[in-house]
Amino acid sequence: MKCLFKILGIFVSYFCHAQQTLPLNTAFSTIPNGAQLKDTNNELNPYIGIYKANFNGNEVTIFITKQENKLEESAKKNYYMDALIVKYIVKNSAGATLQDTQNNNVYNIELYSISTRPDQNSVHFFYSGTNCSVGWGDIRLKKINSTQLSWEYRPDDIVTTAAKCPPTLDTKIYLPETKDLIFTKQ
């Protein structure tokens, strides 16, 4: 009998605390705390891969992967979502690495999807910026075809001061600040 009650207790506990699963593009205002936004329509999968582009003499390689159940924390609520994660390497024309987030050499830089627009074949990303959040803003990737993405990056803050950020830190923005840059799948 004790075993039956134990099993019943686990069963009730699990279902009473189960996460609410919602579609990926659920409006932020309607997401309950602790919910899970799931990519049930596989909207993110077509973007996964390695892409390259050249911009102002630099080679930019982006590595796009999908992470399930990424914790999204805000002042109002916490929830989990399926998201695209972008890591990148920027090299100059001589082949020297200017910035590398693929190997987590810069731990505080985040670039991840926050919404999709299937009707426009696009995904919107949040970019935390480089050191001291310089360059934080929005990046939009639009799928042109199975091998090409169009890039648009709009930084919200591109400068800092010595009072906000130690002058010894590199605050240069290495990602292409442009619209309609074409990345090609490798």
Q: Please, what is the Cα angle at 175 between 61 and 99, to 5 degrees?
A: 70
Please indicate whether residue 7 or residue 125 has the higher confidence score (pLDDT): 125
Q: How many CB atoms lie within 10 A of CB 71?
A: 9
User: Residue 8 falls within a domain, yes or no?
Assistant: no
Beta strands in the chain (DSSP E): 21-23, 36-38, 49-55, 58-73, 78-91, 97-100, 111-117, 122-127, 137-145, 148-155, 179-185
Number of domains observed in the structure of the chain: 1
pLDDT for 18 equals 64
pTM: 0.85
Residues 31-84 have pLDDT tens digits of: 999 999 999 999 999 999 999 999 999 999 999 999 999 999 988 899 999 999
Residues 133-180 have pLDDT tens digits of: 999 999 999 999 999 999 999 999 777 877 888 888 888 999 999 999
pLDDT for 66 equals 97
User: Residue 39 falls within a domain, yes or no?
Assistant: yes
Element (H, E) at 6: helix 2-16
User: Residue 168 falls within a domain, yes or no?
Assistant: yes
